[in-house]
């Protein structure tokens, strides 16, 4: 057996059982740290810092929705695949005793501490209907000569059962050989061992009294009975409720302090440093687990929590999503557009201000409809809110059916010579004059009439008509005078009863002034009509 890397020691080399233990460690490996603490996933979780780090990762993975999505063939829509049985397995109930939240926490603990997670896939009709998790210590993985992986399940009764690779969902953490994840607690055993040893040292210090032990000396020699009596007296007066109380010494006795205090040993400083060391091993920022040196401002802490999502949780999201897509979906499902997704927006639950700002920006920019934003808040849809909003300064818009349209860019306006539609202006003037209604005047003449009244002149002023024309360049405009026709007024004479009298009423002289038409142009322009000496309109000009 020349390939055996270890030589059997000679009889003279066997000095103690410690050599045998050391040889065993070299051959089979061990998780014991240099401090003497054995590090396993159980002892690691007894370290408060390790527990907080794993819990921070597990909560981030389990608290966000995990859904099975389906993408349309044209890639324009992505909706939850609620019709698939796998949707309920991932989103709500993976097995008979766990919820999706519980199941994902188990996955996170296995990956962080052991580097691997194993779940049995119960497949019915080509669809995964149940996921049953195994403890990582009960599964062993062998790589066959063909390159395939073979899984062996060994329960507590010592039996062994082979599980084919297609029936096992194996999620790997960081890996060296590509088919087995690296065990996290084994890689970080020195940091964890020192943190556990420091914690135990502090506990023993408080158990034996805040003040460290010392030497009680006096002159003379003690027999066995005196020694026992003195020892019991010291324990009674220096521990429990009497710890730290002053001691009364007799017979020239002296108390000599021998061990250092907690401050001298810098125990607290060492424990703080180990918190940061364990956080580095798990890739979690100390601020996330509540450890702070007191110098961070609120803004910096907020950015560190954002960094936790980007640098710690996002890689785990991607790891689990891709593993699920490869192991839980068939090739046909993949071609039909199915995929799994962690909805990271779930981390905003409880941060109402951040949620409102996030949804408002998406809605205002047309990325999300108002009903889609309401769905994010678990609110009912409202009719008329299914179309995306398009800001006025945007070039890309949507039609009524939700189809994207490319709107041609409107060219810059080019300054042109003003064009005045004279016929339209004349028609508007004629309609305005024709709409003038002159009420018939009523003339009351009291009796008796000694003399006929003088002829009356009735003057009717036409209303002023103003036409607003958009801004344009001065131009010479000639408008023919409108043909104004006014019917003679009806004259009614009311007379009290009296002897017959002769009444002569001369035709009234009616003068109708030509309408004063002003055309107001922006920037103060005005259209002035030109009259001759007889008051007849002969033209118009723009001032």
pLDDT score recorded for residue 6: 42
Residues sharing a CB contact under 8 Å with residue 115, sequence separation 6 or more, in sequence order: 172, 173, 174, 175, 180, 181, 182, 183, 184
pLDDT score recorded for residue 120: 94
Q: How far is CA 374 from CA 63, 152, 363, in A?
A: 20, 49, 10
Going along 199-316, which residue ranges are E strands?
Answer: 214-217, 254-257
Strands 509-512 and 457-460: parallel
| pTM, full prediction | 0.58
Per-residue pLDDT of the chain (543 residues; tens, 9 = 90+): 344 444 444 544 444 445 555 555 545 455 677 877 888 889 889 888 999 999 999 999 999 999 999 988 887 888 889 999 999 999 999 999 999 999 999 999 999 999 999 999 999 888 899 999 999 999 999 998 888 899 999 988 888 999 999 999 999 999 999 889 999 889 888 888 888 888 887 777 777 654 546 676 777 777 888 778 877 877 777 766 666 667 776 666 776 666 555 555 567 777 888 888 899 999 998 888 888 766 665 556 677 788 888 889 999 999 999 999 999 999 998 899 999 999 887 776 656 777 788 788 888 878 888 888 887 776 787 888 888 888 776 665 455 555 555 444 445 555 555 556 666 776 776 676 666 665 655 555 554 555 555 655 556 565 565 555 556 555 555 555 555 555 555 556 565 565 555 556 556 555 555 555 454 545 455 556 667 777 666 666 656
| Residue 366 contacts residue 390 (beta carbons within 8 Å) | yes
| Secondary structure of 466-483 in HEC code, one letter for each residue | EEEECCCCCCEECCCCCC
pLDDT score recorded for residue 12: 47
Going along 322-423, which residue ranges are E strands?
Answer: 338-342, 396-398, 404-406
pLDDT score recorded for residue 4: 43
Distance of alpha carbon 254 from alpha carbon 18, whole angstroms = 40
Distance of alpha carbon 8 from alpha carbon 32, whole angstroms = 24
Phi, psi of 165, rounded to the nearest 5 degrees: -65, -35
Distance of alpha carbon 79 from alpha carbon 129, whole angstroms = 21
Distance of alpha carbon 359 from alpha carbon 377, whole angstroms = 10
CA angle 368–374–377, rounded 5-degree value:
115
| Residue 543 contacts residue 528 (beta carbons within 8 Å) | yes
pLDDT score recorded for residue 419: 58
Distance of alpha carbon 371 from alpha carbon 388, whole angstroms = 9
Strand ranges of the sheet holding 149-153, from the earlier edge strand across to the other edge: 139-143, 149-153, 161-163
Residue with tokens 């918190």: 275
Going along 236-334, which residue ranges are E strands?
Answer: 254-257
């Amino acid at each position: 057996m020349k390939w055996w890397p270890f030589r059997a020691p000679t009889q003279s080399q066997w000095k103690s059982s410690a050599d045998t233990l050391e040889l065993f460690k070299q051959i089979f490996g061990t998780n014991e740290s240099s401090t003497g603490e054995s590090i396993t996933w159980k002892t690691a979780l007894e370290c408060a810092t390790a527990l907080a780090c794993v819990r921070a990762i597990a909560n981030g993975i389990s608290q966000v929705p995990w859904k099975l999505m389906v993408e349309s063939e044209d890639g324009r829509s992505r909706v939850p695949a609620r019709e698939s049985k796998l949707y309920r397995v991932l989103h709500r109930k993976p097995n008979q005793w766990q919820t999706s939240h519980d199941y994902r926490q188990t996955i996170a603990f296995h990956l962080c501490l052991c580097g691997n997670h194993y779940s049995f896939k119960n497949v019915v009709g080509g669809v995964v209907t149940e996921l049953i998790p195994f403890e990582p210590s009960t599964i062993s993985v062998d790589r066959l000569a063909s390159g395939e992986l073979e899984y062996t399940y060994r329960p507590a009764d010592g039996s062994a059962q082979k599980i084919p690779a297609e029936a096992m969902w194996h999620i790997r953490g960081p890996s060296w050989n590509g088919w087995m994840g690296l065990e996290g607690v084994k890689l970080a055993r020195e940091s964890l061992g020192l943190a556990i040893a420091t914690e135990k040292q502090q506990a023993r210090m408080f158990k034996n009294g805040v003040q460290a032990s010392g030497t009680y000396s006096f002159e003379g020699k003690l027999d066995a009975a005196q020694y026992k009596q003195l020892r019991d007296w010291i324990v009674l007066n220096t521990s429990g409720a009497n710890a730290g109380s002053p001691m009364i010494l007799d017979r020239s006795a002296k108390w000599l302090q021998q061990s250092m205090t907690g401050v001298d040993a810098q125990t607290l400083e060492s424990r703080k440093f180990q918190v940061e060391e364990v956080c580095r091993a798990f890739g979690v920022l100390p601020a996330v687990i509540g450890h702070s040196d007191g110098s961070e401002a609120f803004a910096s802490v907020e950015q560190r929590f954002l960094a936790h999502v980007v640098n710690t949780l996002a890689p785990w999201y991607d790891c689990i999503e891709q593993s699920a897509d490869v192991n839980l979906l068939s090739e046909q499902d993949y071609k039909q557009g199915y995929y799994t997704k962690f909805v990271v927006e779930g981390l905003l639950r409880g941060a109402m201000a951040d949620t409102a700002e996030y949804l408002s920006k998406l809605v205002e920019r047309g990325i999300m409809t108002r009903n889609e934003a309401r769905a994010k808040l678990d609110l009912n849809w409202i009719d008329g809110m299914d179309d995306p909003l398009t800001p006025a300064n945007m070039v890309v818009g949507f039609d009524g059916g939700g189809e994207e349209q490319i709107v041609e860019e409107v060219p810059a306006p080019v300054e042109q010579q003003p064009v005045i539609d004279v016929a339209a202006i004349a028609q508007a003037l004629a309609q305005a004059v024709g709409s003038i209604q002159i009420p018939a005047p009523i003339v009351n003449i009291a009796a008796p009439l000694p003399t006929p009244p003088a002829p009356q002149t009735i003057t009717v002023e036409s209303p002023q008509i103003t036409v607003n024309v958009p801004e344009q360049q001065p131009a010479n405009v000639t408008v023919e005078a409108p043909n104004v026709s006014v019917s003679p007024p009806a004259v009614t004479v009311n007379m009290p009863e009296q002897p017959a009298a002769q009444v002569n009423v001369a035709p009234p002289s009616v003068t109708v002034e030509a309408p004063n038409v002003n055309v107001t142009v922006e920037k103060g322009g005005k259209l002035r009509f030109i009259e001759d000496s007889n008051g007849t309109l002969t033209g118009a000009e723009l001032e």
